[in-house]
Amino acid sequence: MLNVEVLNIFLNDRPAGKLFRFANGTTSPIVRFVADDAFADDPKQDTLSVSMRARDPAQQASLWKDISAPIFNGADGRLPVFCQNMLPEGLFRAHLAQERGCREDDHFALFAASGLDLPGAVKAMPAVLSREELARLVTQENDALEMSVTADPLPLGVSISGMQPKVGLIEQGGRYVARKRHGVTRIIGKLPQVDRPMLPEVEDLSLSLAQAAGANVCEHKLVSLEMLKFEHGYTLGGSGNFLAVTRFDRDGGKRIHCEDFAQALGVDPGNKYTGATYAAMAGLMLRYPDTLGLTAVHEMLRLIAINELMGNLDAHLKNFCLLYPDGRNPVLSKAFDIVAWSVYITGQGNALALYRTEDPAKHKVSRTLGPAALRDFCNLLGIAEQPCSKVIRETVARAQDLWPDMIRDSQMLDAQKERLLNHLETHPFARRKEGAAAKLQAKQASDQ
């Protein structure tokens, strides 16, 4: 007799399928998502993930019914990649595991615990099936199965991607409190961290710098910890503030579906730094010219330039997101999780490779956005270089014009201000601009 745990998966409050875990006598349980027939056969179905969308619409129903497809199956007891990427990491995962009373590597239990408030428009609730339904779902009626009870979601359970301590909140009269049992969190509270002095202030400034340089960023503000009326259980750092970030996947009480680029490209969160490149992200954007296309590619390049200028070394796959306002078509979300890590550590470049060539004889990997790398990037994608170069030039010019005063006027520590200003002033972008200005002055002098 095989034991099975099953969760009903809902997308925009519509049944989409079932996620189950069962032990089949192997060393690790099998975890699989199976789409409901009504959802799979609907030609107007909402998009769960572009990674689950067939290139040929006529093949979509067949893809859903291919239960052996890797995208629907977890490995080594992990969830399928789309679901695995919904789980929190680091301190937040440890906190959720403690609340549920399970191990940190019990991915299924953690997913179930946060089933009422997962990212996007996905919900997960325990399912109760008959033995016949279980056999048909799991083993195509070949084995006898026993239903295991999956615990209900935690009343206040919420899953938010990322490593740092954070809480899901709603605002009531200027105070920040936990959501109601069947409500949704509308604000992410990012808390002070013991080993990262002034992290809320650093991230608040970083998002403001990105906006000043032309990026479309999420709403955010610093709030006194005195306004946080929530028993979070974290040991906090020395800052007296937390960062309140308005979720772009919530509109009042409505959930708006979204997915990060690790989900969209089918990459396990453990490979968020190596599983794909910025060029792969751009290639996906170009597949949807009406809602993403070159506009989204240019915005991504703007963000890459911003990250380099401020020393944000952590812009991995999970820190870029697709949003589905109409339920079906992806758009690029507002930018989030932008942090000038140069105030804490020394480094240059980006979290991801800009591109990676497939030919071993001509193997190239670039993590900086220099002129040659940009040319290779554009050639690889078959897009015009000049408009991309213009976006970067304009971004750098705005940053160099506006950032210094913003940094000096910020709430960061003086030493942090000095480190960030030094990173900006010594970045190759700044040196190239100075070199171009010097050449122009020399030319003007020779013409006189």
3 state SS of 333: coil
Q: What is the pLDDT of residue 364?
A: 66
Q: What is the pLDDT of residue 437?
A: 44
Q: Which residues contact 399 (CB under 8 A, 6 or more apart)?
A: 209, 212, 213, 306, 309, 424
Q: What is the pLDDT of residue 147?
A: 52
By the 8 A CB rule, do 213 and 403 touch?
A: yes
Q: What is the pLDDT of residue 362?
A: 59
Q: What is the pLDDT of residue 438?
A: 42
Q: pTM of the full predicted structure?
A: 0.90
The residue assigned the tokens 């009042």 is 252
Q: What is the pLDDT of residue 429?
A: 86
What does the domain layout of the chain look like in residue ranges? 2-147, 166-433
Q: What is the pLDDT of residue 19?
A: 96
The Cα diameter of the chain in Å comes to: 92
Q: What is the mean pLDDT of each run of 10 residues along the chain (448 residues)?
A: 84 96 77 94 95 89 92 93 94 86 93 92 90 72 52 59 78 83 81 92 98 98 91 76 95 93 98 97 98 99 98 97 98 98 93 82 75 95 98 97 98 98 92 52 50
Rounded to 10°, the helix 414-426/428-447 angle is 50
3 state SS of 51: helix
- Please state, in angstroms and rounded to a whole number, the distance separating the CA atoms of residues 433 and 440: 11
- Please state, in angstroms and rounded to a whole number, the distance separating the CA atoms of residues 448 and 445: 5
Q: Tell me which DSSP letter residue 49 carries.
A: -
- Written as one string, the DSSP assignment of 413-446 is -HHHHHHHHHHHHHSHHHHHHHHHHHHHHHHHHH
